[in-house]
């Protein structure tokens, strides 16, 4: 890079060295990896712009803004840089294989996971950047998820607990199932796997290439991994495990769900073929330790990588099935695949030693809806995706800020979206997090990619996560088939150490009549907080949706205006062209007509000009002769008169008679010639007159053309006026925009007002019912309640205004 380029570089990670000091994975709770997708054959053939992404070294990458991109334009205006440098835990270039990527990114987390540390791996990036490819891979080249399953089964090989009577329960507990329940589990699993009949063959073949399934079907040995692969020689580092491994066994359970439009759906629920059957929405709850879990989510026991892959395929199938039915695109939802590893001890009388969870989340494409031109359902969908990713960004930014002891700790809004609620335990010190940033090298998605990189730059700066007091690190509980606690799994703890088994396990299942006064107050307080958070998130969502709607409408109006003005311009041009061509046509016709007339006349009376001149000269010559003869006649007569007086009358008479005869002859000849010439002159005058008439006709035609011309000019003027009225419309749209922003400010003020008023609401503690009543009444009568009502009215009136505008349109 030249010096000029260097001066343009904005280094996004100022504290790289600081985070590098935590190079020991044990101290690095969040690692951020970058994977750059290679160009596809089609992209290479279409000469997709290259050179936007340059990998500088294994930790850093440089983005160069392509020409004509908004980023480059901003750079030219001096608003931002054209070159950005980003650093990551590791950068994987386009040539990286799936195996190399797994080794370098996820393996560490799986190693910790089998030793009891929870893990979260999520992919982030724009659509088509390779997120799904990285997590799932292809049937020929597995992604990190099948590879992790393979590693887990390799690890527990020979120590696998094959019965299904210990099942994951709530967030971190285990349920011991009765015989009947075990049978039910087995039948659920069989039904689920049967739903993949047709694909079974191909999966078996593919997985057989990866795993060699032993007769028990529970043991799977990697074949596609090199013989010296660390997986094969993997030795648990956990000393505790090593000491007790002789009597430990492991049971693996998986779940697969998706978050679509802020609703959680189970992808392992067998869907009915009925067309109008709606998918069941699942709820996110919290256990008494504050850990989130998805209520009623299906957990399926798997006994090999092959089964895991089948479950993945079934979930994908259900996902795409639901998508086709609702006309969605798969990348419009966040998919979450979780693996729970139950470590059991004592073969004869098994107890659960610990439970660990590894979650893979394939986030929806992070592109913004402005680019996708979304409306209606698509806009709502994009709004929800944007919102959940935005809240994830807010949580990450808050976590980053809270690392700084000098700054006031800020609220981490985990509860504002389903996604962050589920991620919360991982970000709160309950495990390791690995963020995989996927990017492609397309110039046309450069701005989105830059946005993704900036997001990840903040995440990369998180070097320490929080552990709130409410999230105590209690060991898992064992409950019976009826859901009542049996024992808490701690080898050193007896059953007696545990409090009343009727403790609340999920917030929505609380029976308030059994709660003490203090607990009730706490519950009310919690509910109030949740209500506030819920309202805030809804408000935020509404503001976002409104803003995006307004933007979309404004864009649409601008486009309409542009289309109309283009149409007007086109019409103007075409009218002008038509006018010009008509005018030319008439001109040509007149010329032709005049020429034809002239030709006709010329044919009838054609006298070549030379002849005409010669004739004229002849006439002039003759006139001169006549004059000469007349002069001679006068002279003669004069002389005759003189002679007559001197000579005899006889002579005079004879000579005079002779001269008279000659003169008479000459005179007659000349008169004849004169008459002929007069005729010629008359015919020529006639010709000139006819030519004049033709000229008049041509003038008349020209006058008509001029009239037509002025009429068309008038039409153009009218169209100009129409265009002006459209421009007035555009101004009105701008005014609407301002109204929307002022409404937004109003909403913000309501929010502020609410939070101030809420903090004032401290009531004296009284009896149980009185407290509840006052809490409810207080909430209803708060300025927020009223403000909320007002806001509803305002929003309704705004809707009316918008509706009125739309009707006008």
Ligand X SMILES: Nc1ncnc2c1ncn2[C@@H]1O[C@H](COP(=O)(O)OP(=O)(O)OP(=O)(O)O)[C@@H](O)[C@H]1O
Residues 6+ apart with CB under 8 A from 602: none
Q: Which is nearer to ligand X, 436 or 579 (CB)?
A: 436
Q: Which is nearer to ligand X, 7 or 320 (CB)?
A: 320
> Angle at the Cα of 161 (from 491 to 336), degrees rounded to 5?
90
Q: Does residue 37 interact with ligand X by CB under 6 A?
A: yes
Q: Does residue 143 interact with ligand X by CB under 6 A?
A: no
Q: Does residue 137 interact with ligand X by CB under 6 A?
A: no
Q: Does residue 142 interact with ligand X by CB under 6 A?
A: no
Range 763-771 contact pairs with CB under 8 angstroms and sequence separation of 24 or more:
765/517, 765/521, 767/517, 768/517, 768/520, 771/517, 771/520, 771/521, 771/524
Q: Exposed, middle or buried: residue 211 (CB in 10 Å: 0-12, 13-18, 19+)?
A: buried
At closest approach, how far in Å is the CB of 423 from ligand X? 19
Residues 6+ apart with CB under 8 A from 81: 8, 9, 10, 75
CB 110 within 8 Å of CB 151: yes
The structure tokens 């000659």 sit at 662
Candidate ranges 113-121, 127-135, 251-259, 608-616; the one touching ligand X (CB under 6 A) = 127-135
Give the separation between CA 439 and CA 757, rounded to whole angstroms.
Answer: 45
Residue 132 marked as a ligand binder: yes
- Tell me which residues in 325-344 interact with ligand X (CB under 6 A): 330-331
Give the separation between CA 783 and CA 753, rounded to whole angstroms.
Answer: 8
At closest approach, how far in Å is the CB of 130 from ligand X? 3
At closest approach, how far in Å is the CB of 365 from ligand X? 4
Residue 126 marked as a ligand binder: yes
Q: How many CA atoms lie within 13 A of 300 on its CB side?
A: 27
Q: Which is nearer to ligand X, 140 or 183 (CB)?
A: 140
Q: Which is nearer to ligand X, 104 or 116 (CB)?
A: 104
Q: Which is nearer to ligand X, 137 or 383 (CB)?
A: 137
At closest approach, how far in Å is the CB of 161 from ligand X? 34
| Sign of the torsion formed by the C-alpha atoms of 481, 483, 485 and 490 | positive
Q: Which is nearer to ligand X, 137 or 393 (CB)?
A: 137
Hey, what are 635's tokens?
A: 């002279």
Among 53, 110, 129, 144, binds ligand X (CB under 6 A): 129
Q: Does residue 104 interact with ligand X by CB under 6 A?
A: no
At closest approach, how far in Å is the CB of 54 from ligand X? 17
Residue 127 marked as a ligand binder: yes
At closest approach, how far in Å is the CB of 141 from ligand X? 8
Task: Cite the beta strand spans of 363-452 per DSSP E.
Answer: 432-439
DSSP reduced 3-state for 485? strand
Binding-residue total with ligand X (CB under 6 A): 14
The structure tokens 């086709």 sit at 324
Among 31, 64, 85, 131, binds ligand X (CB under 6 A): 131
CB 449 within 8 Å of CB 413: no
CA distances to 279, 318, 321, 324, 325 from 273, in Å: 11, 11, 10, 13, 11
Candidate ranges 122-130, 218-226, 257-265, 315-323; the one touching ligand X (CB under 6 A) = 122-130
Q: How many CA atoms lie within 13 A of 226 on its CB side?
A: 6
Candidate ranges 13-21, 124-132, 700-708, 786-794; the one touching ligand X (CB under 6 A) = 124-132
Residue 54 marked as a ligand binder: no
Q: Which is nearer to ligand X, 222 or 330 (CB)?
A: 330
At closest approach, how far in Å is the CB of 378 from ligand X? 14
Residues in the chain: 809
Residue 128 marked as a ligand binder: yes
At closest approach, how far in Å is the CB of 57 from ligand X? 20
Q: Does residue 128 interact with ligand X by CB under 6 A?
A: yes
The structure tokens 């981490």 sit at 412
DSSP state of 729: H
Phi, psi of 221 (to 5 degrees): -115, 130
CB 299 within 8 Å of CB 340: yes
The residue at minimum Cβ distance from ligand X is 130
Q: Which is nearer to ligand X, 331 or 417 (CB)?
A: 331
Phi, psi of 282 (to 5 degrees): -100, 155
Candidate ranges 130-138, 236-244, 351-359, 613-621; the one touching ligand X (CB under 6 A) = 130-138
- Tell me which residues in 403-442 interact with ligand X (CB under 6 A): 438
Q: Which is nearer to ligand X, 303 or 330 (CB)?
A: 330
Q: Which is nearer to ligand X, 35 or 546 (CB)?
A: 35
Q: Which is nearer to ligand X, 130 or 383 (CB)?
A: 130
At closest approach, how far in Å is the CB of 331 from ligand X? 3
Q: Among 245, 241, 233, which residue's Cα sits nearest to residue 107? A: 233
Task: Cite the beta strand spans of 125-184 per DSSP E.
Answer: 166-169, 173-176
Q: Which is nearer to ligand X, 86 or 101 (CB)?
A: 101
Among 90, 127, 224, 565, binds ligand X (CB under 6 A): 127
Q: Which is nearer to ligand X, 37 or 85 (CB)?
A: 37
Candidate ranges 128-136, 159-167, 486-494, 559-567; the one touching ligand X (CB under 6 A) = 128-136
Give the separation between CA 757 and CA 783, rounded to whole angstroms.
Answer: 7
Among 8, 16, 38, 601, binds ligand X (CB under 6 A): 38
At closest approach, how far in Å is the CB of 438 from ligand X? 6
CA distances to 751, 757, 773, 774 from 761, in Å: 15, 7, 14, 10
At closest approach, how far in Å is the CB of 42 from ligand X? 10
- Tell me which residues in 244-263 interact with ligand X (CB under 6 A): none
H/E element, 307: helix 305-326
Residues 6+ apart with CB under 8 A from 578: 712
Hey, what are 554's tokens?
A: 């404004």
CA distances to 554, 588, 720 from 559, in Å: 8, 43, 19
The whole-angstrom distance between residue 101's C-alpha and the CA centroid of its chain comes to 28
Q: Does residue 181 interact with ligand X by CB under 6 A?
A: no
Q: Which is nearer to ligand X, 101 or 153 (CB)?
A: 101
Q: Exposed, middle or buried: residue 229 (CB in 10 Å: 0-12, 13-18, 19+)?
A: middle
Among 130, 146, 168, 425, binds ligand X (CB under 6 A): 130
Among 66, 125, 315, 485, binds ligand X (CB under 6 A): 125
CB 62 within 8 Å of CB 84: yes
Give the separation between CA 428 and CA 431, rounded to whole angstroms.
Answer: 8
Residue 131 marked as a ligand binder: yes
Candidate ranges 21-29, 129-137, 527-535, 787-795; the one touching ligand X (CB under 6 A) = 129-137
Candidate ranges 125-133, 650-658, 749-757, 791-799; the one touching ligand X (CB under 6 A) = 125-133
Q: Which residues of 467-493 are buried (b: 16+ CB within 10 A; e: fewer)?
A: eeeebeeebbbbbebeeebbbbbbeee
Among 28, 115, 132, 248, binds ligand X (CB under 6 A): 132
At closest approach, how far in Å is the CB of 135 from ligand X? 8
H/E element, 61: strand 60-64
Give the separation between CA 332 and CA 338, rounded to whole angstroms.
Answer: 20
Among 315, 350, 365, 476, binds ligand X (CB under 6 A): 365
Among 88, 102, 124, 133, binds ligand X (CB under 6 A): 133
Q: Which is nearer to ligand X, 106 or 438 (CB)?
A: 438
Give the separation between CA 472 and CA 703, rounded to whole angstroms.
Answer: 98
Binding-site residue positions for ATP: 125-132
Binding-site residue positions: 125-132
Applying CB under 6 A, the residues found at the interface with ligand X are: 37-38, 125, 127-133, 330-331, 365, 438
């Amino acid at each position: 890079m030249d010096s000029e380029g260097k001066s343009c570089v904005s280094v996004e990670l100022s504290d790289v060295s600081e985070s590098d000091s935590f190079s020991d994975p044990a101290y690095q709770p969040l690692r951020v990896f970058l994977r750059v997708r290679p160009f596809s054959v089609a992209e290479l053939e279409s000469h997709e712009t290259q050179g936007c992404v340059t990998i500088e070294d294994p930790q850093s990458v440089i983005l160069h803004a392509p020409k004509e991109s908004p980023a480059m334009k901003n750079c030219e205006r001096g608003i931002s840089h054209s070159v950005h440098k980003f650093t990551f835990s590791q950068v994987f270039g386009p040539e990286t294989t799936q195996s190399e990527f797994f080794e370098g990114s996820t393996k560490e987390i799986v190693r910790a996971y089998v030793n009891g540390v929870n893990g979260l791996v999520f992919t982030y990036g724009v659509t088509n950047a390779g997120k799904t490819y990285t997590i799932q891979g292809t049937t020929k080249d597995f992604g990190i998820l099948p590879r992790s399953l393979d590693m887990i089964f390799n690890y527990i090989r020979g120590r696998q607990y094959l019965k299904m009577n210990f099942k994951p329960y709530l967030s971190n507990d285990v349920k011991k199932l009765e015989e009947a329940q075990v049978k039910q589990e087995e039948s659920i699993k069989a039904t689920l796997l049967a739903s993949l009949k047709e694909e079974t063959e191909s999966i078996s073949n593919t997985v057989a290439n990866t795993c060699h399934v032993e007769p028990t079907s529970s043991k799977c040995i990697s074949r596609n991994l090199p013989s010296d692969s660390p997986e094969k020689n993997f030795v648990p580092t956990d000393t505790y495990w090593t000491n007790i491994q002789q009597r430990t066994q492991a049971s693996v359970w998986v779940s697969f769900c998706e978050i679509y439009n802020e609703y959680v759906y189970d992808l392992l629920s067998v869907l009915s073929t009925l067309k109008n059957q709606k998918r069941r929405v699942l709820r996110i709850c919290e256990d008494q330790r504050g850990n989130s879990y998805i209520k009623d989510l299906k957990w399926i026991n798997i006994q090999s990588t092959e089964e895991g892959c089948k479950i993945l395929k079934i979930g994908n199938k259900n996902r795409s099935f639901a998508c086709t039915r609702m006309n969605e695109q798969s990348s419009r939802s966040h998919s979450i695949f979780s693996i729970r590893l139950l470590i059991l001890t004592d073969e004869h009388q098994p107890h659960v030693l610990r439970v660990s969870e590894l979650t893979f989340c394939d986030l929806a494409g992070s592109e913004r809806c402005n680019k996708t031109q979304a409306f209606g359902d698509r806009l709502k969908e994009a709004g929800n995706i944007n919102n959940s990713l935005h809240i994830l960004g807010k949580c990450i930014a808050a976590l980053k800020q809270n690392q700084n002891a000098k700054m006031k700790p800020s609220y981490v809004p985990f509860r504002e979206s389903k996604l962050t609620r589920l991620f919360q335990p991982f970000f709160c010190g309950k495990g390791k997090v690995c963020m995989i940033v996927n990017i492609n090298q397309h110039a046309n998605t450069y701005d989105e990619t830059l946005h993704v990189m900036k997001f990840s730059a903040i995440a990369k700066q998180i070097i320490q996560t929080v552990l709130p007091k409410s999230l105590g690190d209690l060991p898992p509980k064992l409950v019976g088939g009826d859901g009542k606690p049996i024992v808490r799994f701690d080898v050193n703890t007896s059953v007696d150490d545990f409090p009343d088994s009727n403790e609340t396990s999920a917030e929505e299942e609380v029976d308030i009549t059994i709660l003490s006064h203090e607990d009730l107050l706490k519950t009310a307080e919690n509910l109030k907080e949740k209500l506030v958070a819920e309202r805030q998130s809804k408000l935020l969502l509404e503001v976002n949706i409104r803003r995006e709607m307004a933007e979309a409408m404004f864009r649409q109006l601008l486009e309409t205006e542009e289309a109309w003005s283009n149409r007007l311009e086109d019409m103007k041009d075409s009218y002008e062209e038509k006018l010009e061509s008509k005018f030319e046509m008439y001109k040509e016709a007149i010329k032709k007509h005049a020429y034809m007339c002239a030709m006709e006349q010329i044919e009838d009376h054609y006298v070549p000009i030379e002849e005409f001149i010669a004739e004229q000269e002849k006439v002039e010559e003759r006139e001169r002769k006549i004059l000469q003869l007349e002069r001679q006649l006068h002279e003669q007569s004069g002389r005759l008169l003189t002679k007559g007086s001197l000579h005899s009358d006889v002579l005079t008479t004879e000579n005079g008679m002779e001269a008279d005869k000659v003169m008479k002859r000459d005179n007659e000849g000349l008169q004849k010639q004169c008459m002929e010439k007069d005729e010629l002159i008359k015919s020529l005058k006639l010709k000139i007159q006819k030519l004049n008439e033709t000229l008049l006709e041509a003038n008349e035609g020209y006058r008509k053309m001029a009239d037509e011309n002025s009429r068309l000019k008038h039409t153009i003027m009218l169209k100009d006026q129409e265009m002006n009225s459209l421009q007035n419309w555009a101004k009105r749209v701008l005014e609407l925009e301002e109204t929307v922003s002022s409404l937004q400010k109003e909403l913000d003020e309501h929010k502020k007002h609410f939070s101030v008023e809420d903090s004032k609401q401290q009531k004296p503690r009284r009896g149980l019912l009185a407290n509840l009543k006052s809490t409810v009444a207080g909430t209803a009568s708060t300025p927020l309640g009223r403000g909320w009502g007002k806001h509803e009215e305002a929003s309704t009136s705004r809707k009316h205004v918008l509706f009125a505008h739309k009707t006008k349109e």
